[in-house]
Amino acid sequence: MTEHVFKILVTGPFAAGKTSLIQSVSQTTVVSTEVDTSGDESDVKPNTTVAMDFGTYAMDDGAIRLLLFGTPGQPRFRFMTNILKGDVDVVAFVVDAEAKGTHAAAGVELRSLLSDLEVPAVVAVNRCDDPGVAAKVARRLGARNGERIVPCQLVDPDSGVDVVIEILTTLLESMDDEPFEVATDTGETAPADGQQSDRVEADVA
């Protein structure tokens, strides 16, 4: 039996619910780097992740294994995201629906991450029960059309499984896509890019 191992990057802004997600779904002891917060951040929550979280989720007797790498949320720890994002298969982007003040910066982060990694994403909209509200939050983040959007309540341990299901579905879809990407690779380069052809014409003139 072949074992399929996938690396999932769990990221998103400070206090969105990233550590809660990993702790609620991991089947192995979570490696966590939580420490006491200080300053203004201690008004939001008492602990924060400073390096990474690590958890796993396996199904089909281990035929499929998800390795969940969680990042810190604060911009000062962005270097950890840069370390952890290599070879990621899916980005799970967690955002707190109620913390509207975080959405603008989260949107910038999500878009830059996706344009950089070019992998599918699941947007987990925490503290949200309504799919319509979740979709609206995801739109505010500037999610492209492809992301799966899942409302969740990550304080509830069962809710994290909904996010994992979306991750697995996304993985299955992206596996289906792969042969097509290879097939269309050659036909896509020249004609689609308008700017490039303009420049060529200018050179000719």
Q: Quote the least distance from Cβ 78 to other proteins, whole Å.
A: 9
Q: Which of 2, 39, 183, 187 binds other proteins (CB under 8 A)?
A: 39
Backbone angles phi, psi at 137, to 5 degrees: -60, -45
What is the per-residue DSSP string for 58-69?
Answer: EETTTTEEEEEE
Site string for other proteins, 123-152 (x = CB under 8 A): ------------------------------
Can residue 80 be called a binding residue for other proteins (CB under 8 A)?
Answer: yes
Please, which residues have CB within 8 angstroms of residue 106's CB and are 6 or more apart in sequence?
Answer: 12, 13, 16, 93, 95, 141
Sign of torsion over alpha carbons 8, 165, 58, 179: negative
Q: Quote the least distance from Cβ 74 to other proteins, whole Å.
A: 7
Q: Which of 11, 19, 26, 48 binds other proteins (CB under 8 A)?
A: 48
Q: Is-contact 151 133, C-beta < 8 A? A: yes
Distances (CA, A) of 140 to 14, 82, 143: 18, 24, 8
Q: Which of 65, 77, 117, 169 binds other proteins (CB under 8 A)?
A: 77
Q: Which of 72, 73, 107, 160 binds other proteins (CB under 8 A)?
A: 72
- Separation CA 135–CA 141 (nearest Å): 10
Q: Quote the least distance from Cβ 29 to other proteins, whole Å.
A: 10
Q: Which of 7, 50, 58, 111 binds other proteins (CB under 8 A)?
A: 50
Can residue 35 be called a binding residue for other proteins (CB under 8 A)?
Answer: yes
- Separation CA 30–CA 23 (nearest Å): 6
Binding site for other proteins (CB under 8 A): 31-39, 41, 48-52, 72, 74, 76-77, 79-80
